[in-house]
Amino acid sequence: MKKVGIITIYHNNRNYGGLLQAYALRQSISNLGYKCDIIDYTQNAASYKFSRMCNLGLKRTFEVVRNKVLTKIQYRRHPALKKSIDLRNGCLHSFEASIPHTATVHDDGIEAKAAEYDILVCGSDQIWNPGLWSPSMFLDIPKFSGKRLSYAASIGRNQLTTKEQDYISKHAQGLNHISVREKSAEKMLKQILKKEVITVLDPTFLINPDEWKAFARKPEGVSEKYVFSFFLGNNESAKKMIYDTFSKEMPVITIPHLQTGFKAEDEKYSTIQLYKVGPREWVWLILNAQAVLTDSFHGTAFSINLNKEVFSFPKGSKEDKQSINSRLSDLLKMCGIENRFLTDCSTIKNRVHEKIDWTSVNEKLDREKRAARDYLIKSLSD
């Protein structure tokens, strides 16, 4: 049995979608008859912080530091809040630990670890976002003689600087097969690498809806009828509009203070705030919601895969070269429901009763699922 090692955004990942895509890709490869592990790779702390700062720039670095400071202040003022956040992080860590993985490997040990495998796969999620780059993320690992391929790797951006293009050109040349998650990334990489690049679905779509339904677990404190407002970023106007639109009819459930730290709006514009939520509970919340409203790629992806009414909202400004909105717009466009991407949150009041034509969506989605599985089978076996 051939051994496959996956390098993805896994180490200490406290993101629902990030952990679920790692779980789904490893599970899908294992189901094809390979022995598969997540390689628990992480950059050395100093090099990670430096590359992150270079990508964010001074203004965004300041915002990140400011958010961390403000969050720590809130923790001191409200010890119960820190306890709640720690509870959620514990749920995420437990799930992370349950995915078959290696011991933690840094840059100085990745060459030896890679030698234990016949095939290396990088992806999915934003593994090729410039803020996370290292040669190992492109499987540019010296002396590795096996096959190297990417599956649904995401750049997470719709533009790259010349310097960033040069970095990709240098480190991605050794890949035997290249697939990305967004059409925008496919176009950029074809120009940069002069190689065949295809777009495939996020690995969470490789797991069929019935399997996700069996995977899901009901969290504590949930009513029978609710809407799920799941936001990673700051978007007070959208959160307020969602709350004003739905809260008189049913509870608005949120998972507060994600990604960018403490946000007062997360508590102000929700009926029920949940903390004891791991990935299994998160899938259940999407599966059983009357509607999902989110700025999250995976919140949108799971809603589509599970045929739940969803509206997606932008994260960051449209003009921002680091905007991740291309991930959402590409996915919705592929499904023929790009009108579910709301740049003007005030329109939600007039659209809450609109229904998605799931017959049409599922026809497109099934075609893309077959193509994704065919790519994975062929690239692993060639």
Domain assignment present for residue 84? The answer is no
Long-range contacts of 140-145 (CB under 8 A, 24+ apart): 140/170, 140/171, 140/172, 140/174, 141/110, 141/111, 141/114, 142/111, 143/111, 143/115, 144/111, 144/114, 144/115, 144/120
- Ramachandran angles phi, psi of 61, nearest 5°: -60, -40
List of residues 6+ apart from 316 with CB closer than 8 A? 233, 322, 323, 324, 325
> Which residue has 């992150």 as its token pair?
52
- Ramachandran angles phi, psi of 339, nearest 5°: -75, -5
Domain assignment present for residue 191? The answer is yes
Q: What CA–CA distance (Å, rounded) separates 220 from 234? A: 26
Q: Are residues 222 and 129 both part of a single domain? A: no
Domain assignment present for residue 93? The answer is no
Structural domains counted in the chain: 2
Q: Are residues 213 and 258 both part of a single domain? A: yes
Nearest CA to 42 among 87, 98, 106? Answer: 106
Q: Residue 111 maps to which CATH number?
A: 3.40.50.2000
Q: Are residues 140 and 244 both part of a single domain? A: no
Neighbour count for residue 68 (Cβ, 10 Å): 13
Per-residue confidence (pLDDT) for residue 174, from 0 to 100: 96
Phi/psi class of residue 125: alpha, beta or left (left: φ > 0; alpha: ψ in -120 to 50)? left
CA dihedral 260, 21, 88, 41 (to 10 degrees): -80
pLDDT tens digits for range 293-321: 999 999 999 999 999 999 999 986 544 44
Q: Are residues 167 and 294 both part of a single domain? A: no
* Token couple for 281: 């509970």
Domain assignment present for residue 57? The answer is no
pLDDT tens digits for range 124-135: 888 998 877 899
Domain assignment present for residue 313? The answer is yes
Q: Are residues 352 and 283 both part of a single domain? A: yes
Q: Are residues 251 and 169 both part of a single domain? A: no
What distance lies between CA 366 and its chain's CA centroid? 21
Neighbour count for residue 122 (Cβ, 10 Å): 26
Using CA atoms, how far residue 19 sits from 66, 92, 168, 255, in Å, is 26, 8, 25, 16
For residue 6, the cross-strand partners are 38, 121
What is the Cβ-side half-sphere exposure of residue 120, based on CA atoms within 13 angstroms? 27
Q: Are residues 248 and 332 both part of a single domain? A: yes
Q: Are residues 245 and 115 both part of a single domain? A: no
Per-residue confidence (pLDDT) for residue 3, from 0 to 100: 98
Neighbour count for residue 107 (Cβ, 10 Å): 15
Q: Are residues 310 and 200 both part of a single domain? A: no
Neighbour count for residue 37 (Cβ, 10 Å): 19
Per-residue confidence (pLDDT) for residue 76, from 0 to 100: 79
Domain assignment present for residue 151? The answer is yes
Q: Are residues 194 and 242 both part of a single domain? A: no
The boundaries of the domain holding residue 172 are 3-45+98-207+367-381
Low-confidence stretches of the chain (pLDDT < 70) are 44-67, 260, 316-324
Alpha helices in 207-308 (DSSP H): 209-215, 236-246, 264-268, 279-287, 297-305
Q: What CA–CA distance (Å, rounded) separates 317 from 297? A: 16
Domain assignment present for residue 321? The answer is yes
Q: Are residues 241 and 293 both part of a single domain? A: yes
